[in-house]
């Protein structure tokens, strides 16, 4: 791995517009970041995702690096935080996928007319498809409000969504 001094020198060159310096930083730091992320996530694919996002974040924010700590310490903290965020997001996605799976397997009500039953199944399929297309935050709100019966303001506060309303 590059030393802090070498990283800062490359960062200075990158600030001056040298694209090769950015490339060398990314190439040399990505394996180390990936190893750190692998320790945190215990999954090679997740570690690659984290490493990619950390290296991109590092390249875009290194110009603001203050130097109060070592560059490797700063990079490790970014990797740790990104890994934790990734794991939280993955758990949230798994919970929503389970909910969607339960919703998908929910038995449709039996109707007298076979055409009504067919229409109900088509409608439920459409709802499931549309739900899967929503952004994560909106799916969370939908789940909390429509499936779990929370008040909208409670749901938005719970997930940290700002609504602009004060009710």
Chunked mean pLDDT (size 10), the chain, 167 residues:
82 80 86 91 92 87 74 87 91 80 65 77 80 77 76 76 53
User: CA 14, CA 105: separation in Å to the nearest integer?
Assistant: 53
Query: DSSP character for 148?
Result: T
The verdict on pTM exceeding 0.85 is: no
Q: Write down the pLDDT at residue 82.
A: 95
Choose the final residue of a domain: 59, 88, 117.
88
Instruction: Check whether residue 73 and residue 20 sit in a common domain.
Output: yes
Listed residues 38, 59, 88: the one ending a domain: 88
The DSSP call for residue 109 is: P
Q: What's residue 167's pLDDT?
A: 45
- Residue 145's pLDDT is what? 81
Q: Tell me if 26 sits within 8 A of 19, measured CB to CB.
A: no
Tell whether the torsion through CA atoms of 160, 161, 164 and 167 is positive or negative: negative
Domain that holds residue 117: 92-158
pLDDT for position 61: 82
Give the gyration radius of the chain's Cα atoms.
Answer: 23
At 47, which CATH number?
A: 1.10.1740.10
Of 154, 125, 159, 158, the closest CA to residue 167 belongs to 154
Strands, E assignment, 90-155: none
Confirm whether 167 is domain-assigned. Answer: no
Residue at a domain's end among 50, 69, 88: 88
């Amino acid at each position: 791995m590059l030393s802090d001094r070498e990283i800062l020198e490359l960062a200075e060159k990158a600030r001056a517009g040298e694209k090769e310096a950015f490339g060398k930083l990314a190439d040399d730091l990505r394996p180390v970041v990936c190893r750190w992320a692998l320790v945190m996530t215990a999954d090679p694919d997740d570690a690659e995702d984290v490493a990619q996002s950390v290296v991109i974040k590092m390249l875009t924010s290194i110009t603001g690096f203050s130097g109060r700590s070592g560059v490797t310490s700063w990079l490790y903290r970014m990797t740790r935080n990104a890994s934790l965020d990734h794991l939280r997001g993955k758990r949230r996605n798994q919970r929503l996928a389970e909910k969607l799976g339960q919703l998908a397997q929910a038995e449709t009500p039996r109707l007298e007319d076979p055409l009504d039953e067919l229409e109900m199944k088509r409608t439920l399929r459409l709802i499931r498809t549309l739900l899967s297309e929503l952004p994560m935050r909106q799916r969370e709100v939908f789940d909390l409000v429509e499936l779990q019966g929370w008040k909208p303001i409670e749901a938005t506060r719970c997930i940290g969504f700002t609504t602009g309303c004060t009710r």
